[in-house]
Chains A and B, each alone.
Chain A
């Protein structure tokens, strides 16, 4: 039997299940309806005191609660919700027995403030130092915090719950993490190691320290009022990104495995690419070369020409620098075709889901292909003349979409792109 292959002779990788949670809601239906209606999930933070903060809004997922709260527990819970939806749709394997590996994009884990302070209150000595504190850590009352705050804890729990095979991989490539998780799954299927892969990306990082840290890097928007107006990619008055939470899960399968079990194919991951930027720890190379190289590598991986891309789901963070660089890189690759490509940024509505963004936006891209409708970039009131993209501003646009490029460009020089198509090329 000759398995269906792409033009490079590799197994074709398809998506058979998707699940999503963002500040707009849980599930594909709610997300799609609200996203295309131009709604925003950004609100003033109520989870913790915001006194003294420069940025006071976020796309927090407040309708999901975990007790006791920690960002790590919330990330895990969001991942479970998204994965259950994806598995339900895909129907691959059986409950608790997923027939392949797991790749998990997750924020770096640390013991968090509520837990730090809880331990501190159990130290008997006044003006304690680290050694006194460590003794309290080890007094036997806090063993569960080891289980919670090891970096591998989220993957361990998800692997246990969903019965994925082998050693689950937790990864961080900053804002590109979600795309990297998908890329690892694609590569495993192309190598013939697996017929199915579970790619999950999650982030529940809206906590005081994370907000302060991004704020100290001057990365966040401070246009707090109204909160839903803060994220305005490609606008002249954009001033930073808005932190957000969410999760996306995708079931990837080889085309032949999916066909053999009669699965419904939701789309194809036609190409992936990544290229590192070594210019600066937080800033992109001003010439856009690494992003240009990343987009070109992705086209080459898919065996496609720039003219075949008919929509770009942009990284579009709403930071002054990213959006400008993204236009520069895009126009360098797509040339005269650039004005013909409708561009949109989902971050205008859901905020920047950081570790989850690559997967969340891949799912929105696949929904765009399914519905032949491009979700709007909201808050697009003052277009930046330096970014003459065909921005799908404020209102969803019906369009013929056969191939979407989804970009992720992150801190630490992490660039990754995906090309998603409706049918195998």
Chain B
């Protein structure tokens, strides 16, 4: 096989609980700012999206009305990424741009759901009651605001990204695979340029249901990821994280500058019924990146959920030379968006010639001086799926 083509990250779009855009994020990370809400859905801790008007990237109100918040966050961040890559409005590029989105489902109408559930619990539901309520009370367009593939659909409509469109699902692993497939396709010449990313809205009682079934939510007081030993769990976060990836040739031909290159993405499905499987999986993937342990940097998407976080920490403990940053501390857990968020922060750090400061009272994260040239990004799903990527400075 021919040597794979180099994959550059030429665009980054970030919208989160900290604000929008790269400068705002760099400043907030430098100031160790965290936007957390312990009251709105108390006892569940969440990181709500920063106040924002979506008009700048989604100019038509009609489009905004057709979306729920997760889709607005994603469509907005996708627009930022296209702007950042200098391809916004460039029909020639957008019409052949490949898109791989990682998505869950969108917001439900909780009012309708709760009314049905209360009526049923009180014995007030006759046969056909559910049908009647759903037929009469669901907004017809809500379906489209919920469907996983309609984040991609909205990005196509609003920004004109029209080459191909694929939506991967499956919580954290979906975005690891999105990045992995994009890199593989570009590397093999099956694609020249791709938009890859995900969006997550943490301010969702309906979404907490799923994680509450497994008791994964952080309750009561916020604490940084490494300080949750006694009350493990994750606080759902709000992030839209998108990357424009393209082959070096393609970027050079259009005069685009790279933030960094994405050298490798690997993924696994550890058999987690066996204790220690996550640690083993990460150890098996590590050599595939070909990085040295000493003086390295690693951005982890560790959720704070157990036992996954302890097992990842055991792996990190074997590599004490690494300066670790857990983006879950700052952003919460953004599930599908956690891995592209890590990639975005890695590329941003490399392009700024510095790693942002540690934000960890336990001292596990250490300061790092000097410009990082290699940053490893890890993603360990709260329940399944593991992955790792290497982001490097372009020589």
Residues of A within 8 A of B121 (CB): 117, 120-121, 123, 128
User: When chains A and B are docked, how far (Å) is the Cα of A119 from the Cα of B176?
Assistant: 33
Pairwise interchain contact B165-A413, C-beta atoms closer than 8 A: yes
Chain B residues numbered 175-225 whose CB sits less than 8 Å from any CB in chain A: 176-177, 180-181, 184-185, 188, 190, 205-206, 208-217
**In the complex the two chains form, what is the Cα distance from A172 to B216 in whole Å?**
26
Q: How far is the CB of A76 from chain B (nearest CB, A)?
A: 14
Residues of B within 8 A of A262 (CB): none
Pairwise interchain contact B149-A50, C-beta atoms closer than 8 A: no
Do B118 and A52 have beta carbons less than 8 Å apart? no
Would you give the shortest CB distance from B236 to chain A, in whole angstroms? 12
CB–CB A152/B1 < 8 A: no
Taking the closest CB of chain B, its distance from the CB of A182, in whole angstroms, is: 12
Nearest-Cβ distance from residue B39 to partner chain A, whole angstroms: 11
Q: How many angstroms from the CA of A281 to the CA of B146 in the assembled complex?
A: 12
Q: Which of A49, A170, A173, A180 contacts B174 (CB 8 A)?
A: A170
How many of chain B's residues have a CB under 8 angstroms from any CB in A? 86
Set of chain A residues within 8 Å of B117, measured between Cβ atoms: 116-117, 119-120, 128, 133
Does A134 lie within 8 Å of B208, measured CB to CB? yes
Pick the contact of A169: B103, B116, B177 (CB < 8 A). B177
Is A126's CB within 8 Å of the partner chain B? Answer: yes
Q: Is the CB of B167 within 8 A of A172?
A: yes
- A151, A184, A412: the one within 8 Å of B150 (CB): A412
Name the contact of B134 in the complex, choosing from A145, A147, A209 (C-beta under 8 A). Answer: A209
Stretch in A272-280, A312-320, A381-389, A394-402 touching the partner:
A272-280
Contacts of B74 in A (CB 8 A): none
Q: Which residues of B contact A52 (CB under 8 A)?
A: 128, 131-132, 135
Q: Evaluate contact between B41 and A131: CB separation under 8 angstroms.
A: yes
Q: Does A377 sit within 8 A of B, measured CB to CB?
A: no
Judged by a CB distance under 8 angstroms, whether B22 is at the interface is no
Flag whether B269 is at the interface (Cβ < 8 A). yes
The distance in angstroms between the C-alpha atoms of A147 and B121, with both chains bound, is 24
- Cβ of A193 to closest chain B Cβ, rounded Å: 7
The answer to whether A167 and B149 touch (CB under 8 A), given A52-B131, A192-B1, A281-B157, is: no
Chain B residues near A290 (CB-CB < 8 A) = 162
Do A413 and B157 form a contact, CB below 8 Å, given A127-B118, A184-B181?
A: yes
Contact status A173-B173, CB under 8 Å = no
Question: A282 within 8 Å of B by Cβ?
Answer: yes
Measured CB to CB, the closest approach of chain A to B303, in angstroms, equals 13
Checking B138, B143, B165 against A274 with a beta-carbon cut-off of 8 angstroms, the contacting residue is: B165
B31 interfacial by beta-carbon distance below 8 Å: no
When C-beta atoms are compared, the residue in chain A nearest to B100 turns out to be A171
Q: Answer yes or no: A215 CB below 8 A from chain B CBs.
A: yes
A88: chain B residues within 8 A (beta carbon): none
Instruction: State how many residues of chain A have any CB contact under 8 Å with chain B.
Output: 83
Residue A412 contacts which of B165, B180, B190, B387 (CB distance < 8 angstroms)? B165
- Report if A47 contacts B (CB, 8 A): no
Of chain B, the residue at the smallest CB distance from A219 is: B143
Q: Which of A16-24, A28-36, A105-113, A235-243 contacts B (4 or more CB under 8 A)?
A: A105-113
Choose the segment among A58-66, A135-143, A302-310 that binds chain B (4+ C-beta atoms closer than 8 Å).
A135-143
Check A121/B44 contact, CB under 8 A, given A146-B210, A152-B170: no
User: Pick the contact of A193 from B184, B383, B384 — CB < 8 Å?
Assistant: B184
Query: How far apart are the CA atoms of A184 and B60 in the complex, in Å?
Result: 34
Contact of B210 among A111, A214, A274, A277 (CB under 8 A): A111
Is A191's CB under 8 angstroms from B184's CB? yes
1/0 contact string of B151-167 vs chain A (CB within 8 Å): 01110110011111111
Cα A217 to Cα B385 in complex, Å, equals: 35
Whether B291 is near chain A, meaning CB under 8 Å from some CB there, is: no
Q: Enumerate A76-115 residues with CB–CB distance to B below 8 Å.
A: 106, 108-111, 113
| Nearest-neighbor residue (CB-CB) of A216 within chain B | B140
A4 contacts the other chain (CB 8 A): no
Say yes or no for A51: interface residue by CB 8 A criterion: yes
Contact A113 B130 (CB under 8 A): yes
Q: Interface 1/0s, chain A 249-281, versus B by CB < 8 A? A: 000000000000000000000000011111111
In contact, A145 and B185 (Cβ under 8 angstroms) = no
From B165, B177, B190, B214, give the contact of A173 (CB < 8 A). Answer: B165
**Which chain B residue has the least Cβ–Cβ distance from A212?**
B134
**Complex contact A142–B147 (CB within 8 A):** no
Chain B residue nearest in CB terms to A278:
B156
Jot down 6 A-B pairs with beta carbons below 8 A, ordered by A.
Answer: A108-B146, A108-B148, A131-B42, A155-B170, A169-B170, A212-B135
- Report which A residues bind B (CB closer than 8 A): 49-54, 106, 108-111, 113, 116-117, 119-121, 123, 126-131, 133-135, 137-138, 140, 142-147, 149-152, 155-156, 159-160, 166-174, 180, 184, 187-188, 190-193, 208-209, 212-217, 274-282, 290, 411-414
Interface residues of B (CB under 8 A from A): 1, 41-44, 66, 99, 103-105, 108, 110, 113-114, 116-118, 120-122, 127-128, 130-132, 134-135, 138, 140, 142-144, 146-150, 152-154, 156-157, 160-171, 173-174, 176-177, 180-181, 184-185, 188, 190, 205-206, 208-217, 267-269, 271, 381, 383-387
- In addition to A156-B269, A281-B66, A413-B156, 9 A-B residue pairs with Cβ atoms within 8 Å of each other are A51-B127, A130-B41, A142-B213, A147-B214, A167-B387, A191-B190, A276-B163, A278-B162, A290-B162
